[in-house]
Structure 1
Amino acid sequence: MSDTVPGTAFGTAADPATGHAPDPAPDLPPVPAGRPTATYRLQLTPDFGFAEAAGLAPYLRELGVSHVYLSPVLQAVPESRHGYDVTDHSRVREEFGGGDGLRAMAAELARHGLGIVLDIVPNHMTVPVPESGNAQLWSVLAEGPASPYARWFDIDWSDGKVNMPVIGDDTEPVADGGVLRYHDHAFPLPDTHYRLVDWRDGPGYRRFFDVSSLIGVRVEDPEVFDATHAVILSLVGEGLVQGLRVDHPDGLADPRGYLSRLRAASGVWTVAEKILVGEERLPADWDCDGTTGYDVLNRITGLFVEPSAAGPLTDLFVRETGAPRDYAEVVYTSKRYVMDLFFGAELDRLSAVAGAGREVLAELLAAMPVYRAYAVPGEPVPEASSAIVEEAAAVAAVRLPDGAPVAEAVEAVLRGPADAVVRFQQICGPVMAKGVEDTALYRWYPLSCLNEVGGEPDRFGGSVEEFHAFCREMPPGTMTTLSTHDTKRSEDVRARLAVLSELPGRWAQAVGEWSAKVSFDPLLDYLAWQNLMAAWPIGADRFFDYLFKAAREAKTSISWATPDPAYEEGLRSFVNRAIGECGPSIAEFTASIEPYARANSLGQKLVQLMIPGVPDVYWGNEITDFSLVDPDNRRPVDFALRRRLLAGGQAGTAGGPGNGAGSSWDAAKLLVTRQALNLRRRLGPAAPYIPLEADEHAVAFARGERAVAVATRLPVGLERRGGWGSRTLTLPHGRWRDLLSGAEHTGRVPLAHLLSHHPVALLERG
Structure 2
Amino acid sequence: MSRPLSTYRVQLTPDFGFAQVAEIAGYLRDLGVTHVYLSPILQATPGSLHGYDVTDHSRIREEFGGAKGFREMAERLAAHDLGIVVDIVPNHMNTTNAAFWSVLRDGTASPYARWFDIEWDDDGKVALPVLGDDVEPVVDGDVLRYHEHEFPHPGHYRLVDWREGPGYRRFFDVSTLIGLRVEDPEVFFATHEVIFWLLDEGLVDGLRIDHPDGLADPRGYLERLRARTGDTWTVVEKILIGHERLPDDWPCDGTTGYEVLNRVNGLFVDPAGRQPLLELFTRLTGQPADYAEVVARSKGEVLDLFFGAEVRRLAAATGAEPETVAELLAAMPVYRAYVVPGEPVPPESAEIVETAAAACSPAARRLAHEVLYGPPEVVTRFQQACGPVMAKGVEDTALYRWFPLSCLNEVGGEPDVFGTPVEEFHAYCADMRPHAMTTLSTHDTKRSEDVRARLSVLSELPAEWKEAVTAWSSAVSHDPHLDYLAWQNLMASWPISAERFAGYLLKAAREAKTAISWVNPDPAYEQRLRDFAEAAVKLPVGEFTERIDRHAMSNSLGAKLVQLMMPGVPDVYQGNETTDFSLVDPDNRRPVSYPRTPASEWDAAKLLVTTQALRLRRRLGAEAAYTPLAADGEAAEHVIAFARGGGAFAGPVTGGAVTTGGPAAEGGPGVPGDEGRARAVAVATRLPVGLERRGGWGATSLTLPAGSWRDLLTGSVHTGRVPLAHLLNRYPVALLERHDL
- State the TM-score, normalized to the length of structure 2: 0.94
1:535 to 490, 493, 496: 493
For 1:639-650, list aligned pairs within 5 A.
Answer: 639-640=594-595, 642=596, 644-645=597-598
Deviations 1:632-658 (A, max 9, x none): 000001214x1x45xxxx9xxxxxxxx
How far off is 1:686 after superposition?
Answer: 1.3
How far off is 1:406 after superposition?
Answer: 2.7
Letter in 2 for 1:735: S
Q: 1:262 corresponds to which residue?
A: 225
How far off is 1:355 after superposition?
Answer: 2.8
> What CA distance in whole angstroms lies between the structure 1 residues aligned with 2:705 and 2:511?
50
Q: Is the 8 A contact 1:736 1:763 kept in 2?
A: yes
Q: 1:673 corresponds to which residue?
A: 610
1:567 alignment partner, SS class? helix
Q: 1:756 corresponds to which residue?
A: 729
Q: 1:460 corresponds to which residue?
A: 418
- The gaps in structure 2 that reach 5 residues or longer are 646-677
Q: 1:109 corresponds to which residue?
A: 77
> What CA distance in whole angstroms lies between the structure 2 residues aligned with 1:394 and 1:300?
33
Q: 2:93 corresponds to which residue?
A: 125
> What CA distance in whole angstroms lies between the structure 2 residues aligned with 1:41 and 1:237?
23
2:399 alignment partner, SS class? helix
Deviations 1:329-386 (A, max 9, x none): 0000000000000000000111112232322221111111100011110111111111
2:595 corresponds to 1:622:
no
Deviations 1:281-305 (A, max 9, x none): 0000111100000000000011100
Letter in 1 for 2:208: R
How far off is 1:184 after superposition?
Answer: 2.0
Q: Is the 8 A contact 1:356 1:408 kept in 2?
A: no
- With 745-754 and 351-360 compared, the bigger mean Cα shift is at 351-360
> What CA distance in whole angstroms lies between the structure 2 residues aligned with 1:719 and 1:196?
65
> What CA distance in whole angstroms lies between the structure 2 residues aligned with 1:737 and 1:151?
61
> What CA distance in whole angstroms lies between the structure 2 residues aligned with 1:264 and 1:533?
50
For 1:562-573, list aligned pairs within 5 A.
Answer: 562-573=520-531
Letter in 1 for 2:615: N
2:22 corresponds to 1:54:
yes
> What CA distance in whole angstroms lies between the structure 2 residues aligned with 1:674 and 1:147?
53
Letter in 2 for 1:454: G
Q: 2:675 corresponds to which residue?
A: none
> What CA distance in whole angstroms lies between the structure 2 residues aligned with 1:233 and 1:355?
42
Letter in 1 for 2:336: R
> What CA distance in whole angstroms lies between the structure 2 residues aligned with 1:741 and 1:39?
25
- The gaps in structure 1 that reach 5 residues or longer are 1-31, 129-133, 398-403, 651-662
2:682 alignment partner, SS class? strand
1:322 to 277, 281, 286: 286
How far off is 1:213 after superposition?
Answer: 0.7
Deviations 1:485-524 (A, max 9, x none): 0000000000000000000000000000000000010000
2:686 corresponds to 1:713:
yes
Q: 1:427 corresponds to which residue?
A: 385
Instruction: State the identity %.
Output: 71
Q: Is the 8 A contact 1:355 1:412 kept in 2?
A: no
Deviations 1:134-173 (A, max 9, x none): 1000000000011000000000014211111111221111
2:494 alignment partner, SS class? coil
- State the TM-score, normalized to the length of structure 1: 0.91
Q: Is the 8 A contact 1:243 1:269 kept in 2?
A: yes
Q: 1:98 corresponds to which residue?
A: 66
> What CA distance in whole angstroms lies between the structure 1 residues aligned with 2:364 and 2:20?
56
Q: 1:664 corresponds to which residue?
A: 601
Q: Is the 8 A contact 1:271 1:479 kept in 2?
A: yes
> What CA distance in whole angstroms lies between the structure 1 residues aligned with 2:151 and 2:277?
53
Letter in 1 for 2:315: S
Q: 2:307 corresponds to which residue?
A: 343
Q: 1:520 corresponds to which residue?
A: 478
2:245 alignment partner, SS class? coil
> What CA distance in whole angstroms lies between the structure 2 residues aligned with 1:330 and 1:86?
35
For 1:83-232, list aligned pairs within 5 A.
Answer: 83-128=51-96, 134-159=97-122, 160-191=124-155, 193-232=156-195
Q: 2:376 corresponds to which residue?
A: 418
2:482 alignment partner, SS class? helix
Q: Is the 8 A contact 1:72 1:83 kept in 2?
A: yes
> What CA distance in whole angstroms lies between the structure 1 residues aligned with 2:426 and 2:722?
21
Deviations 1:198-228 (A, max 9, x none): 1222011000000001000001111100100
Q: Is the 8 A contact 2:6 2:35 kept in 1?
A: yes
Q: 2:591 corresponds to which residue?
A: 636
> What CA distance in whole angstroms lies between the structure 1 residues aligned with 2:477 and 2:153?
54
2:200 to 211, 227, 237: 237
1:285 alignment partner, SS class? coil
1:396 alignment partner, SS class? coil
Q: 1:589 corresponds to which residue?
A: 544
> What CA distance in whole angstroms lies between the structure 2 residues aligned with 1:284 and 1:352?
34
Deviations 1:373-403 (A, max 9, x none): 1111011111111111111011223xxxxxx
1:276 alignment partner, SS class? coil
2:518 alignment partner, SS class? coil
Q: 1:729 corresponds to which residue?
A: 702
The 4+ residue runs of structure 1 with deviation greater than 2 A are 354-357, 404-408
> What CA distance in whole angstroms lies between the structure 2 residues aligned with 1:286 and 1:669?
35
Letter in 1 for 2:720: G
Instruction: Supply the RMSD in Å over aligned alpha carbons.
Output: 0.9
> What CA distance in whole angstroms lies between the structure 2 residues aligned with 1:405 and 1:84?
38
Q: 2:464 corresponds to which residue?
A: 506
Q: Is the 8 A contact 1:690 1:701 kept in 2?
A: yes
Q: Is the 8 A contact 1:356 1:412 kept in 2?
A: no
> What CA distance in whole angstroms lies between the structure 2 residues aligned with 1:355 and 1:408?
11
2:232 corresponds to 1:291:
no
Q: Is the 8 A contact 2:327 2:364 kept in 1?
A: no
